[in-house]
Structure 1
């Protein structure tokens, strides 16, 4: 027999995921452990050796193989606890090590609809205070309201999303990742050594999500690549994964490169280059004069079709610190926001960083996204899977 569980399928930014209220999950799945992971993997349709997730709600990409669990917050001055799981497509694994910045845009709307937010205004902006449980950070979502309902449609356009929607402003407070210093090695630029690439420069940063930035030219790339250019090149993908593992050890996230296989969601690896004209995946022309820097980022072993929200925070924070590879590629000047080009178009993100007692700290990062409910009801899961 199958078990029906209340669920909502939502788009947040350039990602999609299945949202649950913790109290709606089967009792054995309300705590961390194998039953919960097995249940959520079955919902998404993983592991799937065919890579399509046909027997679940996943769509065969890292951007859509995601789950979210919300509950009333036990933290003072917070409305809701937000737990995010990145579900591997072809492996029996959920990575709980990081946040999803894109789906954060949908957390506020879901929390309001589920009655998890008190004193919701009838009209105007509802400020939802989110505790990001994966990394232990505060995020503020500013959700538009009208006639007591969340406004989901509008004219805000987001490259990587086909249709316009209502703008949701997201503030990431103290966005340095919860696993250590903003620059875990103490340097804004380090060197990484790989048999594949030799010795190359890298900026290793914990902001939004642990991220390794390298120069596109050091990889033999340009920074204007689209998904097919990278995802069809098995040799390049393997080299990038080895480089990610080497960087993860350098950041102190893992002790040995072999552990990277069990930690696919973090850290991210991205490459940067100075602005150049290119054609986005939609056919839109992006001019060098429209952007500050080119960035391409990997997610779960594939080039992301746009840009992860948490990686966007890392990009903006790194751009705010003079001397990082991102800042240098963007022209090297002091800045509090950056417009970067990604495979689907462009995105502007603001961030502030300051030097305190010889260490860099990020105070806040801000970006605009959008979110929309796609379907709400129950998801059916075979009862013997958890």
Structure 2
């Protein structure tokens, strides 16, 4: 599975990806990295993150400033890539999503508003990012929301003679939601297969400075626990989701820890909280700057297929071209639908990681003779 682990840094190929492969990235609204800065040759889909429904009307209220940003986003990126608008996000109140999904009338209002906004601003699709349903009833309601969204999308497309909007969802790294106190809390797999075009599996933040021990934020493997990319992706397939509908998430950032004892610096080393960066997080380009400026030690851990660096009391876990290539090969071995990144603006100026992912994906296709 890791036979390309030390090779991909040395090859460069120019390819056009298959139209059925997903190579996506989320763009978080910000002035420092406008949509025009996205290298669209590396992606097939770009997500606008995020919109949020009004907590009283449950509809998408778009102020003039946001409307201008939405219009610029789609006008800039079309027709180079497919654009989707993502609703929710980590900072959006999960309780509000629960309220929307649990009531038929509210669901209808939310759905109609969502489709109207997507069409008004020229998006090709809609993404639901509920982080996360926390009970069996909420998972059931999520499945119903997917079903009714799909029905409304089909109906709207028929009535307007337009191509149906895409419908996707960002989901937990595993089909079973670990953090719930409810046992066997599973995503609505049947509804996902029947109603979504694909799911974006958030295969990252598996470890972080909220723990008192260092660990790979997005390690491909973990021999000591289920907190790994491999376990999560396999769980979605074991749970019954069609592999082609599973899209692997890749982080363009690292997680940092402050070591308890700088002389103990391996994976699992005791830590006392977040290290450098904002709330224990650093963009990939900042990680590389840290490594260069401090002369940090960089370690590749074959057991987890992850990389980390340390200098003094600071420890950083992140992805680089080698680990991304290994993950892409793993995703290909499962016949997944593609990959996505969080988030635009965090890669290096020359898009080192995004380029590596594309090259590795296409190399794997060429090696296997697979046509998607």
TM-score range, shorter chain: under 0.3
Higher strand share: 1
Q: TM-score normalised to the size of structure 1?
A: 0.27
Q: TM-score normalised to the size of structure 2?
A: 0.28
Higher helix share: 2
